[in-house]
Amino acid sequence: MRVRVRSRWVVLLVLLVAPGGCGDDDSSTSVPGFEEFAWDDREPDARSERLCVEADDPDRAADTTFIDCRVEGGRFAGGSSSTDGEIVVVAWNILRGFEVDRQIELLQREAFAPLPDILLLSEADRGCRRTDFRNIARDFARALGFYYVYGTEFVELPNQRGFDGPYDPPLCEHGNAIVSRYPLGNVRAIRHAANRSWYTPPGIPDPDEPRLGGRIAVAADALIGDRLVSFYVVHFESDLSTLEIRDAQAEEVAADGLASPHPVVVGGDLNSYGAISDIRTGRATDRPTQAFLTSGYADAHAALAPDERVTTPLGLAIDFLFLQGDLTVVEAGLCDMELCNPLSDHLPVWARIRLPRME
């Protein structure tokens, strides 16, 4: 069953008993309030298996923004999920995964941060020709021996297509993922109530990124030892003409996190174009970041100097980690521009976080 909602503070919760969804699983750990994702141990065909209903007939979709997609998940993890009380979280807009193997290699050899326990990935391709039809989030999980859940933002449509499918190159998907050392549950794909359509009908010459869908956040609780921590990966609207939509998306996630009974980590690409100015001047004008800061979230990188906050070649700070609840930042940083800029147009940001003690 797929449930589609648009109320601002009510989220899109995908509940599936079909492969790849959420539901009862005999292997789930019995922890009050934790429903582990129903892991599908088969290998999905990312080239041909689409997660969204509208991919069957994209140019006749009833709604080009609020599309109906299931969440995919897989597990490559084994052994204990215990922790010494600290975790490392990395948030990275990976630019579709063009350099996925080099990105994974940097993580594995701890080139810019300690080996992460949680990865919050934005802009992950699934079954796209441009990234060799790979399932990018799954590739991260496989290489690291982790769990993952993936939600589709967009069904990517060919730029030049006739009025009837199937299309060549085939349709593919693009979205956000949580990749975790620890079991994940209570998984949700939040298709933002404030959103815009990226759709361009067939026959329009040279369209700019024709797509079905709209921006989403993916949320999940991670079972870390005997504690639950809520994680959100975000990728807010980027169009300069619709910044009020971006701002509403940030406010929606900030409010949703406040409702969690567990500590919260939010990370990803905020497209917060005014944040670096605020960081340099001490002002509070950037609405995506202020949505979190004025709600009581802590900026994991607040102790860094302004010049150390830049995450794009354009000199902007648009990639963040925010913490809510009884969490403590032990250390935090981001990758060096020279090392990581060739792999994406965003630098990864990371933090070592101390978890609350269990009573």
Among 4-13, 211-220, 267-276, the least confident range = 4-13
E strand or H helix at 137: helix 136-144
Task: Please state, as a whole number, how many other Cβ atoms lie within 10 Å of the Cβ of residue 261.
Answer: 10
298-339 pLDDT, tens digit each: 999 999 999 999 999 999 999 999 999 999 999 999 999 999
295-308 pLDDT, tens digit each: 999 999 999 999 99
pLDDT (average), residues 32-60: 94
Phi then psi for residue 218, to 5 deg, are -110, 130
Residue 35 has pLDDT above 80, yes or no: yes
Q: What is the pLDDT of residue 207?
A: 83
Residue 8 has pLDDT above 50, yes or no: no
Q: Please report, for residues 99, 110, 193, the alpha-carbon distance to residue 341 in angstroms, rounded to integers and kept in the order given.
A: 11, 16, 33
- The rounded distance, in Å, linking the Cα atoms of 195 and 127 is 24
Q: What is the pLDDT of residue 344?
A: 98
Whether the bond into 166 is cis, omega within 30 of 0: yes
The count of C-alpha atoms lying within 13 angstroms of the C-alpha of 96, restricted to the half-sphere facing its C-beta, is: 12
Beta bridge partners of 224: 227
pTM of the model: 0.91
Average pLDDT score over the chain:
90
Task: Please state, as a whole number, how many other Cβ atoms lie within 10 Å of the Cβ of residue 284.
Answer: 11
90-144 pLDDT, tens digit each: 999 999 999 999 999 999 999 999 999 999 999 999 999 999 999 999 999 999 9
Task: Please state, as a whole number, how many other Cβ atoms lie within 10 Å of the Cβ of residue 196.
Answer: 16
- The rounded distance, in Å, linking the Cα atoms of 258 and 114 is 28
* Residue 302 burial (10 A CB sphere; 0-12, 13-18, 19+): exposed
What domains does the chain contain, in order, with CATH numbers? 53-354 (3.60.10.10)
- The rounded distance, in Å, linking the Cα atoms of 246 and 74 is 30
